[in-house]
Chain A
Amino acid sequence: DAKTTQPTSMDCAEGRAANLPCNHSTISGNEYVYWYRQIHSQGPQYIIHGLKNNETNEMASLIITEDRKSSTLILPHATLRDTAVYYCIVRNAYKYIFGTGTRLKVLA
């Protein structure tokens, strides 16, 4: 299973962009990168995913390096409600393996 490495924690000022990095150097060619977040003890919430191209949706943007060994999740205008643990996941067929995640704290 491909492993992911993320910073343990990050702070971001409200209204600013939050850039959350992830390393996944052992990713295989056909494995997707997924981002989820978990607020308090709620069920993880899907944010975005991608294979090799950059992706954008109403929540966030995902930038994947050309060699696919790392990616960055961008929350363009962080709000207090974005405070959560963010997980970068390399999906393997029939499972999503969670790493340790980044605890993002958005500051007023």
Chain B
Amino acid sequence: AAGVIQSPRHLIKEKRETATLKCYPIPRHDTVYWYQQGPGQDPQFLISFYEKMQSDKGSIPDRFSAQQFSDYHSELNMSSLELGDSALYFCASSLIGAGIAFFGQGTRLTVV
């Protein structure tokens, strides 16, 4: 069965650079969620989209932005990267009515 695809799997950036993370949800899923997980921490909710509109927002820095496109894939854009942005970034998708969110394998971002 198709799963949530995230790319790239690993990314190394320098401070003050920009990074773009991509998420391809399970086909027919209408909701996408983004999470950040720092070293030794629990996943923190960043933002979600339902039918291409932002549906909820968590502790997402102003330097980060995200959107969901017409084909339902989503991108998380991160600018002015800081060392503290080094983390695993997970994307999940669901059918809003069914409720079960399936997570991708994550993108490991390292800022040097």
Contact indicator B48/A100 (Cβ below 8 Å):
no
Give the residues from 38 to 68 in chain A that come closer than 8 angstroms, CB to CB, to chain B. Answer: 38, 41-46, 49
**Proximity string of chain B (23-67) to chain A, C-beta cutoff 8 Å, 1 when within and 0 when not:** 000000001010101000011110010100001101000000000
Residue of A45, A49, A93, A94 near B103 (CB, 8 A) is A45
Interface centre among B56, B58, B103, B104 (most CB of A within 10 A): B103
Main secondary structure of the interface of B (DSSP, over half): strand
- B79 touches A (CB below 8 Å): no
Give the residues from 69 to 112 in chain B that come closer than 8 angstroms, CB to CB, to chain A. Answer: 88, 90, 92, 96, 99-106, 108
Q: Number of contacts between A and B (CB, 8 Å)?
A: 59
CA distance A10 to B37 in the complex (A): 22
User: How far in angstroms is the closest Cβ of chain B from A56?
Assistant: 16
**B103 proximity list for chain A (CB < 8 A):** 36, 43-45
Q: Which residue of A lies closest to B44 (CB)?
A: A98
By size class, the interface of chain B is 20 to 34
Q: Which residue of A lies closest to B50 (CB)?
A: A94
Residue of B42, B58, B88, B90 near A99 (CB, 8 A) is B42
Contact indicator B33/A100 (Cβ below 8 Å):
no
User: How far in angstroms is the closest Cβ of chain A from B99?
Assistant: 6
**B43 proximity list for chain A (CB < 8 A):** 38, 44, 98
**B48 proximity list for chain A (CB < 8 A):** 94-95
Known contacts: A46-B102, A49-B99, A94-B31. The answer to whether A41 contacts B45 by CB under 8 A is no
**B105 proximity list for chain A (CB < 8 A):** 42-43
**A44 proximity list for chain B (CB < 8 A):** 43, 90, 92, 103
**Proximity string of chain B (2-16) to chain A, C-beta cutoff 8 Å, 1 when within and 0 when not:** 001000000000000
User: How far in angstroms is the closest Cβ of chain A from B102?
Assistant: 6
User: How far in angstroms is the closest Cβ of chain A from B9?
Assistant: 11
Q: Which residue of B lies closest to A32 (CB)?
A: B99
Which residues of chain A have a CB within 8 Å of any CB of chain B? 32, 34, 36, 38, 41-46, 49, 85, 87, 91-101
Identify 17 new A-B residue pairs, CB closer than 8 A, beyond the known A44-B92, A95-B56: A34-B100, A41-B88, A42-B106, A43-B103, A43-B104, A43-B105, A45-B103, A46-B100, A93-B56, A94-B31, A94-B55, A96-B45, A96-B101, A98-B42, A98-B44, A98-B45, A101-B42
